Amino acid sequence: MTPKLLNEAQLLSIYVGESDRWRGKPLYAAILETLKKEGIAGATVMRGVAGFGAHSRIHTAAILRLSEDLPLVIQVVDSPEHVRRALDAVAPMVREGLITLQDVEVIRYTQRYLNPLPADRLVREVMTRDVVSLAPEAPVAEAWQKMLETLIKAMPVVGKDGQVLGMLTDEDLLERAGLQQRLSVAERLDDHLLAEEISRLQQSPLTVADVMSRPAITVRADESLGVAAARMAKAGLKRLPVVDENGKLTGVLSRVDILRLVAEKEVARVTPPPGAARVVREVMSPTIPVVHQEDGLTEIVEKLLESGLHRVIVLDEQDKPVGLISDSDVVARIQPAQRRSVLSALFGQADVPASKVTAADLMSPGVLTALPDTPLIEAARWMMSPKRKWLVVVDENGHPLGLVDRHILLRALTGG
């Protein structure tokens, strides 16, 4: 079944009689065989208990009339092009009956072959119990200092009674407290620039409660991992605070915690049915922020700001991916005298300083790539390295076709 099914699909319903025949076999069986040959993902036959059709004769499944010609309904849900192709093949077979077609919204489509997520496990079995939290009355400078010390970029905000009031991330500090860089960038700065940032934040009257994201999206420790993963994917979150039945913080569940379970899961040694192998081609984003090796600092910063993704892929002269540049790479590898100017440029507050540096100078060599037919579970395994947040989907010539990140991967694995 194509990924288009999740956006637009059609329901084909075929009403026939149980006694109808086609070339010596029951019509419903012949229709099923034809649908399978046409590549339809699946079909269902339902047997009615009573009904009447064009001849107005009532048929029933009453105990004394089991031999009556009971109504059957064959239903198919697939993409419009697949349904139309199937309809052309089966319509001539229905010499007496009814065929209907309608648009439907597919909420979820998965199979046991496609869903390696151990959704029945409880959150408490997977969550991290040692949680660093913040008090709502803490100054923003204190929160930033704690993030720098622990390298944790998202922390639950907890009241005196243990209730989770919100979440504070480095992005919240960027947007609402005037912070000048994300945590991953700050990790690469020297002590002098960090001290300047903390000193500036200490002048702010804002507290954690003023800038945190609220209300907090949480999950209970006794809820299933499937519920938690779907909630996380729908909201686009990397972490969920875990609470007990009274709403008090007991842990944190991260996107990496979930993907690690998928990556470690042993896949049953079975041959998936046609169309069942879920692969990266079906979920990848076609938008890839790229620069070329010879591009300069201006082009790199502009692409980082344009994409909003904090990293870009570097292509060689054959348009093959050879490296990756993050905003933290730019800050760390530029000349120390230019770092303040580059930070302002990355924040959109100043022009890019003049520099002869190129993408080839700034990039981290090597890009995680995969062919379009790579199964999602393999992609999950490859992306579990802390630095492997992106996977570039390439064609047989090594040219990029699309991009898969951890959010895309989690949404795919949860059927989102």
Q: Which of 49-63, 230-244, 255-269 has the lowest mean pLDDT?
A: 49-63
For residue 263, what pLDDT band results from cuts at 50, 70 and 90? confident
Please report which residue ranges of 177-266 form alpha helices under DSSP H: 183-186, 191-202, 208-211, 225-235, 255-264
| Within a domain: 110 | no
| Within a domain: 132 | yes
| Within a domain: 115 | no
Q: Is pLDDT of 143 > 90?
A: yes
Q: Is pLDDT of 163 > 60?
A: yes
160 and 215 assigned to the same domain: yes
pLDDT the model gives residue 276 = 40
| Within a domain: 273 | no
CA distance 228 to 120: 11
CA distance 130 to 146: 15
CA terminus-to-terminus distance, the chain: 15
Query: What average pLDDT does range 249-258 have in this prediction?
Result: 94
133 and 259 assigned to the same domain: yes
Q: How many CA atoms lie within 13 A of 411 on its CB side?
A: 19
- Whether the model pTM is above 0.85: no
254 and 305 assigned to the same domain: no
Q: What is the CATH number of the domain that holds 89?
A: 3.30.70.120
Query: What average pLDDT does range 6-35 have in this prediction?
Result: 89
Domain end, chosen from 56, 73, 104, is at 104
Query: How many Å separate Cα 324 from the centre of its chain?
Result: 21
291 and 407 assigned to the same domain: yes
pLDDT the model gives residue 269 = 41
Q: What is the CATH number of the domain that holds 365?
A: 3.10.580.10
Domain end, chosen from 104, 131, 147, is at 104
pLDDT the model gives residue 99 = 93
What's the number of domains the chain is made of?
A: 3
For residue 275, what pLDDT band results from cuts at 50, 70 and 90? very low
pLDDT the model gives residue 204 = 95
186 and 240 assigned to the same domain: yes
pLDDT the model gives residue 19 = 87
Question: pLDDT digit string (tens) for 123-140?
Answer: 999 999 999 999 999 999
Q: Which of 2-11, 12-21, 103-112, 320-329 has the lowest mean pLDDT?
A: 2-11
288 and 405 assigned to the same domain: yes
286 and 408 assigned to the same domain: yes
| Within a domain: 142 | yes
200 and 244 assigned to the same domain: yes
pLDDT the model gives residue 413 = 79
Q: Is pLDDT of 12 > 90?
A: yes
294 and 402 assigned to the same domain: yes
pLDDT the model gives residue 326 = 93
pLDDT the model gives residue 106 = 78
Q: Is pLDDT of 37 > 90?
A: no
Q: Which of 165-174, 247-256, 273-282 has the lowest mean pLDDT?
A: 273-282
212 and 146 assigned to the same domain: yes
Domain that holds residue 308: 280-413
Q: Is pLDDT of 65 > 50?
A: no
User: Which of the pair, 116 or 64, is modelled with greater confidence?
Assistant: 116
Q: Which of 206-215, 275-284, 294-303 has the lowest mean pLDDT?
A: 275-284
Cβ contacts of 151 within 8 Å, gap of 6 or more: 183, 187
Cβ contacts of 371 within 8 Å, gap of 6 or more: 393, 394, 395, 396
Q: Whole-number mean pLDDT of the chain? A: 87
pLDDT the model gives residue 110 = 58
Q: Is pLDDT of 113 > 60?
A: no
Domain end, chosen from 71, 104, 137, is at 104
CA distance 382 to 379: 5
pLDDT the model gives residue 56 = 45
| Within a domain: 160 | yes
293 and 164 assigned to the same domain: no
| Within a domain: 111 | no
What is the SS3 assignment for 230? helix
| Percent of the chain topping pLDDT 70 | 88
Q: Is pLDDT of 66 > 90?
A: no
Query: What average pLDDT does range 106-114 have in this prediction?
Result: 60
| Within a domain: 214 | yes
| Percent of the chain topping pLDDT 90 | 58
Please report which residue ranges of 177-224 form alpha helices under DSSP H: 183-186, 191-202, 208-211
Q: Is 120 exposed, middle or buried (0-12, 13-18, 19+ CB in 10 A)?
A: exposed
284 and 383 assigned to the same domain: yes
Cβ contacts of 232 within 8 Å, gap of 6 or more: 238, 239, 240, 253, 255, 258, 410
